[in-house]
């Protein structure tokens, strides 16, 4: 019993020390987070070096000594050629945009474009790897405006679509001087959609009144809980048609080779079909194109991000853990594998 009491006292002291250390770490992280609030980090990766490192690792595993020696010799020759070229070598800046319905990646894109345009010249190139199925009109309108800054600056802009650039995503893609699409990438969806449920009859059934006061004839056209009128529906449809008209005008401005009336039906086309419809200029993946440019120029991948606060990181970790737990439980329940 005496040993057990001593062990309990030791455990209590150790636990107290751990709690104190944890509190100190949280306070330090919180202070650092407050100091860096609003700041972001611009990460720049030279893809030429990244590819060379991967090739060297693979070569060490699969090549014999003479072949490996020849590879190293060719690397040195390429390095000498680059040093002779110096500042005269062309530069390619690679950006990434993975869009959701709110175009959340816009925050990074606007900083990346601003930074690159400070250095890029008309002899350089900006390559945007774009993946988006579209989303909110105002959000993707602003995202597209960031790319028009590149066009206005006279810097060549190449858009690479490996999976999808639809609706607002294609609004961004059409700004490129060239649009490259993978064979089964989805492009198009030049249209506008809006949908919402209406609970008026449910409320009426349960004798619930819903009041909405507005100033202005068309301040609110369709509502979730009020009784919608035919006049409101007509105005809402008129607004959608107006947005669609502006969408088509925007696409026509930046892609005059496209027959907008033929493709502005809300449909999507896969890579080779998109090429036939002039929605794309070439069938090629972003990996293939960037690998080619690495042999011709200095290629830099640019990414801007804001460090997450401690509570955000903890929340993301907990959310990911719960998702994995739920997926594991469901897979065991149904005896299936989820990929």
Q: Does the annotation mark 277 as catalytic?
A: no
DSSP class per residue in 262-290: HHTTS-EEEHHHHHHTTS-SEE--HHHHH
CA 312 – CA 317 distance, rounded (Å): 9
Answering whether pTM is above 0.85, one says: no
Q: Does the annotation mark 163 as catalytic?
A: no
Please list the alpha-helical segments (H only) found in the chain. 2-35, 47-62, 65-85, 106-117, 137-152, 168-173, 200-205, 230-254, 260-263, 271-276, 286-294, 310-334
Catalytic residue among 65, 76, 205, 219: 219
* 122 within 8 A of 156, measured Cβ to Cβ: yes
Residue 122 has a pLDDT of: 95
Q: What domains can be seen in the chain, in order of their start residue?
A: 41-189+267-310 (3.90.226.10), 191-254 (no CATH)
Catalytic residue among 132, 167, 189, 286: 167
CA 141 – CA 313 distance, rounded (Å): 30
- What mean pLDDT is reported for the chain? 86
Q: Of 172, 169, 110, whose CA–CA distance to 144 is shortest? A: 172
* 187 within 8 A of 168, measured Cβ to Cβ: no
Report the range of poorest mean pLDDT among 85-89, 136-140, 197-201, 232-236: 85-89
* 293 within 8 A of 42, measured Cβ to Cβ: no
Q: 3-state DSSP call for residue 313?
A: helix
Residue 83, pLDDT > 80, answer no
Q: Is the dihedral of CA 307, 313, 317, 322 positive or negative?
A: negative
| Percent of the chain with pLDDT strictly greater than 90 | 55
pLDDT in tens, 24-53: 776 666 656 554 555 789 999 999 999 888
């Amino acid at each position: 019993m005496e040993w057990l009491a001593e062990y309990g006292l030791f455990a209590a002291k150790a636990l107290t020390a751990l709690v104190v250390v944890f509190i100190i770490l949280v306070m330090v992280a919180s202070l650092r987070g407050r100091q860096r609030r609003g700041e972001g980090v611009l990460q720049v990766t030279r893809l030429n070096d990244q590819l060379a490192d991967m090739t060297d690792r693979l070569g060490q595993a699969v090549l014999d000594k003479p072949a490996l020696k020849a590879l190293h010799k060719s690397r040195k020759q390429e390095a000498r050629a680059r040093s002779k070229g110096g500042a005269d070598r062309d530069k390619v800046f690679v950006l990434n945009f993975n869009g959701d319905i709110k175009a959340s990646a816009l925050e990074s894109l606007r900083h990346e474009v601003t930074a690159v345009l400070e250095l890029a010249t008309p002899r350089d190139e900006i390559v945007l790897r774009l993946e988006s199925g579209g989303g909110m009109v105002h959000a993707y309108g602003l995202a597209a405006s960031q790319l028009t800054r590149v066009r206005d600056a006279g810097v060549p802009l190449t858009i690479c679509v490996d999976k999808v650039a639809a609706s607002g995503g294609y609004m961004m893609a059409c700004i490129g001087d060239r649009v490259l699409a993978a064979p089964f990438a989805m492009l198009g969806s030049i249209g506008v959609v809006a949908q919402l449920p209406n609970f008026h009859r449910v409320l009426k059934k349960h004798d619930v009144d819903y009041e909405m006061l507005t100033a202005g004839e068309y301040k609110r056209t369709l509502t979730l809980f009020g009784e919608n009128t035919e006049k409101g529906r007509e105005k809402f449809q008129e607004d959608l048609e107006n947005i669609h008209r502006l969408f088509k005008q925007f696409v026509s401005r930046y892609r005059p080779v496209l027959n907008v009336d033929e493709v502005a039906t809300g449909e999507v086309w896969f890579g080779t079909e998109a090429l036939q419809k002039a929605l794309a200029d070439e069938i090629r993946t972003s990996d293939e194109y960037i690998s080619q440019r690495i042999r011709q120029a200095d290629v830099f991948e640019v990414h801007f991000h804001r460090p997450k606060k401690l509570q955000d990181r903890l929340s993301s970790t907990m959310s990911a853990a719960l998702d994995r737990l739920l997926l594991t439980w469901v897979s065991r329940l149904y005896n299936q594998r989820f990929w």
